[in-house]
């Protein structure tokens, strides 16, 4: 089991993937995705925004698919949360192989953040990219999720 680091901007089109489901490492594909945590940290520090990390299993977890379609693509999320965070999307594939160095890096990140083995799972980091502000496991109700993000980050929700 392993993860792949990429960042997602929820309002953007779905990322381009190859036939196996891997997100293609094309930072210029219009999604604004980061390919590495260090890039997300750099943007967060520069723009003074928290990092929203989504641990997800898009090739096997129906809960992850539901979360992405019902919350990340919602107009409420796109209007309030997305412009105020730096997104990092971490894929945990079961059916696809990954480079060993990426597997190791992802396992280290997951362990360092004390992320539970629940998919999906959202982790909010401060703009320094190190301090964990909160962890939201599973698929909460959309309104509850948005309120939790707002409480953790201070982001004002638009009605």
Q: How far apart are the first and last CA of the chain?
A: 40
pLDDT of residue 29: 35
CATH class of residue range 2-153: alpha beta
* pLDDT one-digit tens code per residue, 15-31: 555 443 444 444 433 44
* pLDDT one-digit tens code per residue, 77-131: 878 887 888 888 887 767 666 677 776 777 788 899 999 989 999 999 999 999 9
Residue 148, Cβ density class (10 Å: 0-12 exposed, 13-18 middle, ≥19 buried): middle
Q: What does the alpha-carbon distance between residue 66 and residue 153 come to, in Å, rounded to a whole number?
A: 24
- Residue 47 pLDDT exceeds 90: yes
pLDDT of residue 130: 92
Average pLDDT value for residue range 5-12: 40
Residue 31 makes CB contacts below 8 A (sequence gap 6+) with 8, 9, 12, 13, 15
Q: Is 82 helix (H, G, I), strand (E, B) or coil?
A: helix
Give the DSSP letter of residue 20.
Answer: T
Question: Taking the domains of the chain in order of start, what are their residue ranges?
Answer: 2-153
Residue 88 makes CB contacts below 8 A (sequence gap 6+) with 5, 6, 7, 8, 34, 37, 40, 51, 52, 53, 54
pLDDT of residue 120: 93
* pLDDT one-digit tens code per residue, 65-75: 888 888 887 88
CB-hemisphere CA count at 13 Å for 28? 0
């Amino acid at each position: 089991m392993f993860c792949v680091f990429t960042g997602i901007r929820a309002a953007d089109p779905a990322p381009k993937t190859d036939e196996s489901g891997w997100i293609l490492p094309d930072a210029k594909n219009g999604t604004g995705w980061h390919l590495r945590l260090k890039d997300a940290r750099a943007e967060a520090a520069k723009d003074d925004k928290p990092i929203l990390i989504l641990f997800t299993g898009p090739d096997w977890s129906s809960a992850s698919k539901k979360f992405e379609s019902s919350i990340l693509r919602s107009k409420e999320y796109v209007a309030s949360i997305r412009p105020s965070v730096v997104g990092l999307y971490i894929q945990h594939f079961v059916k696809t192989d990954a480079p060993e160095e990426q597997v190791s890096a992802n396992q280290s990140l997951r362990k360092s953040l004390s992320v539970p083995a629940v998919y999906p799972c959202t982790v909010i980091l401060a703009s320094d990219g190190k301090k964990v502000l909160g962890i939201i496991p599973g698929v909460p109700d959309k309104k509850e999720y948005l309120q939790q993000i707002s409480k953790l980050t201070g982001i004002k929700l638009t009605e």
